[in-house]
Structure 1
């Protein structure tokens, strides 16, 4: 399958290995200092060819940039614009400047580890994890194509994300916030249905069932780079979400004068845009609410989704009902996300067991006579 040949150089004798590749063409590798090193290399090549695990060194000369461009195109074909945008940004800002011109065969585990360490010192965990994930995924493609023998990016420890502190408003605080808002009906709807901003602003008149007081969530409107993109909900699954009866007048008012295809909230034609986090109407309502109630915490529109979960759980809703309302993929996801809200259930279980024991009917067993 191959042969070893000596040749002379200015630095002394060296050895050349020639062998036939699986496609029938020939390949060679030179520069071995001893015949034994050359024979060991030839043996490893022969074994890899025999096991159909051969990696052609020429295939490993493709750059990260060449493979990365194709990888991004493939992601764009299956991801929503809102998911694709952070990937493109991380590639452009963090991955490409370091790795774009590097051949995949030249990527070393230690180099990737040093890059991750440097990023961790200046960027948040989310940025580091996303950037590392792109590089690692590109090298996974190269591995599957048998351009490299293994993925040198695997096995690197990454920083942990610090969970954001969640804010849960009470019924009174929701009233206060709504009273200070430009769109009070929107605040109430977010706080009592748990819909995401894009899901609420994507609702159309035809999605409302007033007789059942439900909305059918079919569409999600997300702003990416200043433009609204519409698509399916985050989980790609439509769902039916109820709204409380006290919201019925506001919902019916929002429907007045609109045909079935028009948007429920706003003028019916343009999607309401997510307000600016510092200068928008929502932030202004929060500031005014805090002047009235100094204990009022800073909240974002998404915190009203957390508030809906909190209010539903405190009202006695079970995990499965909350999962369906929020559109989570599973009840376990709801439990993992809102585990802190179910802590009180443990106290309830302990109390219920005590009450059950105190109220039980005590049956005294007959005394067993000793045998004489």
Structure 2
């Protein structure tokens, strides 16, 4: 049990609480002006110990800069495309702002102000701070919050001050651009890689999944593409791993693609890339997505299509599937989304017509039921 004792100071009598920590070492807290305040602290202390929620004040003196590198290092198990942005967020935003701060000194209002400053910029800063994108802000906040979560787990903090932050910026989703069947084929005909364009537009693969396909991943009899690799370009190098969410899937392709794919696999071994770049290695995404003079940009211009990226053809694939009668679960499986809810969230506009179809079907059903009920009466009247 905690004990309370008084002592004299120049400002008058004060009270000290002495107690045993969970590890049986002795602790104390002094400076209480009244015995009642000291007693309240002692009671709260004993309650926290009994609940296993006790936090040693001295443990909160560790700085974010001491805990951060350990947290970042544990994230190295992630894919390079996920790890590197976290590492950059720590290095560029979190460590410079919070590295020297003891975790126990951080307040929710300070974290909120930092998030706002990152979002809106700060011209008074030296050098001036430019506004950061919602993705950058949320990622930096997530790194700080994750580090402080660990501090809570290690009993360095009782609560995470970052978790009280509200109004995080939201990434503005660009309106989807959907191409028609005619325009997709015009782009394919004008491109150096027609089969790749059509696979992206009709199968909904991500760019990295498509360029990582091997010849052996094509099942001509079942008309399936087996997707279990993903190629990501980071720092000028290609990193090949698993698809997003580490989930492999099998995606059907329409019959008209069969002939093009037969030509694509001809003369290649099962381990050869289905869509290699000019040097025989993986096709580079940066050269295709960002270069105004890339083969894809040239094909768009020749076909009179709007300026999109190869990844945007994934949206067109979703639109084609829905217009062909696919339900949300089928579209989810084709695209490799983690859930049908995610598919609905991303492509809610594509399913608006489904609502109209439901209303029309109800009208038809009710009309049929009413007519059916009226027929006996009509017969009697006849």
TM-score, normalising length: structure 2: 0.87
SS of 1:248 mapped into structure 2: helix
Q: Which residue of 2 aligns with 1:271?
A: 282
Distance 2:161 2:151 in 1: 11
* 1:312 Cα deviation after fit: 1.3
- Please, which of 221, 245, 248 is the counterpart of residue 231 of structure 2? 221
- Please, which of 157, 162, 172 is the counterpart of residue 148 of structure 1? 157
Q: Which residue of 2 aligns with 1:245?
A: 255
* 1:41 Cα deviation after fit: 2.5
CA shift in 2, pair 1:272/1:27, >3 Å: same
Q: Which residue of 2 aligns with 1:47?
A: 47
1:194 is the counterpart of 2:199: no
Distance 1:213 1:280 in 2: 34
SS of 2:16 mapped into structure 1: strand
Q: Which residue of 2 aligns with 1:91?
A: 90
* 1:272 Cα deviation after fit: 1.0
Q: Contact conserved, 2:177 with 2:312, CA < 8 A, in 1?
A: yes
Q: Contact conserved, 1:286 with 1:299, CA < 8 A, in 2?
A: no
Distance 2:238 2:293 in 1: 17
* 1:169 Cα deviation after fit: 0.7
Q: Contact conserved, 2:188 with 2:299, CA < 8 A, in 1?
A: no
- Please, which of 236, 250, 265 is the counterpart of residue 246 of structure 2? 236
* 1:164 Cα deviation after fit: 1.7
SS of 1:228 mapped into structure 2: strand
SS of 2:18 mapped into structure 1: strand
Once the two structures are overlaid, the 10-residue window that deviates more, 4-13 or 192-201, is 4-13
Equivalenced residue count is 362
Q: Unaligned stretches of 5+ in structure 1? A: 368-372
SS of 2:270 mapped into structure 1: coil
CA shift in 2, pair 1:169/1:125, >3 Å: same
Distance 1:270 1:196 in 2: 18
Q: Which residue of 2 aligns with 1:281?
A: 294
Distance 1:33 1:298 in 2: 71
CA shift in 2, pair 1:5/1:272, >3 Å: same
CA shift in 2, pair 1:356/1:15, >3 Å: closer
Runs of 4+ in 1 over 6 A off after TM superposition: none
Q: Contact conserved, 1:193 with 1:243, CA < 8 A, in 2?
A: yes
* 1:22 Cα deviation after fit: 1.6
Structure whose residues are more often helix by fraction: 2
Distance 1:359 1:218 in 2: 49
Q: Which residue of 1 aligns with 2:124?
A: none
* 1:111 Cα deviation after fit: 0.9
Distance 2:293 2:227 in 1: 26
* 1:347 Cα deviation after fit: 2.2
Q: Contact conserved, 1:190 with 1:308, CA < 8 A, in 2?
A: yes
Q: Contact conserved, 2:187 with 2:300, CA < 8 A, in 1?
A: no
Distance 1:330 1:111 in 2: 36
The two structures, once aligned, show a CA RMSD in angstroms of 2.3
| Deviation by residue 1:319-360 (Cα, 9 ceiling, x = unmatched) | 222222111223232222211011112222333344455566
Q: Contact conserved, 1:15 with 1:30, CA < 8 A, in 2?
A: yes
